[in-house]
A and B are shown apart, each in its own frame.
Chain A
Amino acid sequence: MHSITVAIVDIGQDQQRQMPINDLLRHNGDQIELLVDLSSDGAQSTERRCTVRDDLSFVENAIARIRRLNPQIVLMNTGQTIQECCDLLLALQDQCPDTQALLVIDEDIEENDLIKALACGARGFVTENLESLDFSKVVTAIDRGEAWVSRSMTAKLMHQIVAGARDFAEANVDSAG
């Protein structure tokens, strides 16, 4: 079985909050390969490329890193920081279309913020309470091209789509009239 490459992007997180995801991925055997910034040969040129550039925005730096690591899936450790996450998702769609994004969210996140992030191209979400989660199952599903969203969220998204489709239909009737 081939391993699925995963990279982590932290958005507005402190170091302590990064750990659970890293630990979780390391305990999922060979199925998931976590890509990190450390260069194996210690070459200076690689080290330099790993450095965050102050003259670039967060999104530009993150995209540069994702392009360098080229993971199949990027875990966006978002907490509640949605705007930067949305900007990154849109840039990711444009510049790394083959990389799928999975959000790791705070349980208290506003529902509208989460829908906004999904509308920007995230392929699903999991909450920060990851202990009971079979993470390899999530990552494998995303890699297969499936989405990972809760049943209740699925209904809300569908409601939005159906309402949107009706609005467009009405707008078309109006413009035709």
Chain B
Amino acid sequence: MLILLASSNKDMLSRWEHGLFGLASTTSSHSFQSLTEKLVKLRPGILFLDYALPGLKNQQSIDELIHLANDTKIVIFSPGFPDDIEWKLFKIGIKGCCLHDFQPIQIKRVIDVISRGELWIRRSLTNRILSELVKVTFEKNRIEQAVRDLLENLTRREYEIAMLVSRGDSNKKIAQQLAITERTVKAHLTEIFRKLHISDRIKLALIMKDIIKSS
């Protein structure tokens, strides 16, 4: 596994390299510009990111990095964040938050945890995870219920066509299966889109698949 070390601080880089010695191959970047280039080109498994890296603009830059290399696990090193900021960083997808003066022995533990697919997160933040989970689940259930209510407005035939669309069937195939014309299928779809407040069959397929999955 390749680990990309992004910092312009020589002491920090040295501690990281010491901690990772024999565990993984490493490469380094000393600015945000070179980091983005290496991230795209090398696709490292893990990125150690110094929050004081030249060119890094807080949360926005980290969001950018996550979008550039979705599979790379990002671990941030900083002097310490307030809970709210650290929580926001985890919510956009970072995998760990460490103090910038972590010693090699601690770096070893971090890499062990992150490699196992776990998070390096303070215990005091885990309660937020559960609270957020409750909130997200409530919201998801609310949306599913709203969609179910909308689906109840569909006629039996419209529902049938919506289910066939979710299987990926074309208008022609649906017409053949239901022994109706393609024009009638299109008319039904127009009515389905209107009732569900959506604009295309891809969204319809996604909605139907979610409904099937949750029921």
Contact = CB atoms under 8 A, between A and B. Distances in A.
Given A121-B134, A164-B140, A152 B118 contact: yes
8 contacts: A146-B123, A146-B127, A147-B130, A154-B126, A155-B95, A160-B133, A165-B136, A171-B143
Contact of A119 (B119, B121, B134, B197): B134
A109 interface: no
Interface of B: 90-93, 95, 113, 116-119, 121, 123-124, 126-127, 129-130, 132-134, 136-137, 139-140, 143, 197, 203
A123 to B, nearest CB: 6
B119 A146 contact: no
The majority secondary structure among interface residues of chain B is helix
B126 to A, nearest CB: 4
Contacts of A151: 113, 118-119
A111 B130 CA distance: 15
A154 B92 contact: no
Interface residues of A, number: 29
The majority secondary structure among interface residues of chain A is helix
Contacts of B139: 164, 168
A154 B87 CA distance: 13
B118 A145 contact: no
Contact of B127 (A115, A119, A123, A167): A123
Contact of B119 (A115, A121, A154): A154
Interface string A139-153: 001000111010110
Contacts of A124: 130
A158 B119 contact: yes
A149 B130 contact: yes
Contact of A147 (B117, B119, B126): B126
A161 interface: yes
Contacts of A122: 130
Nearest to B121: A154
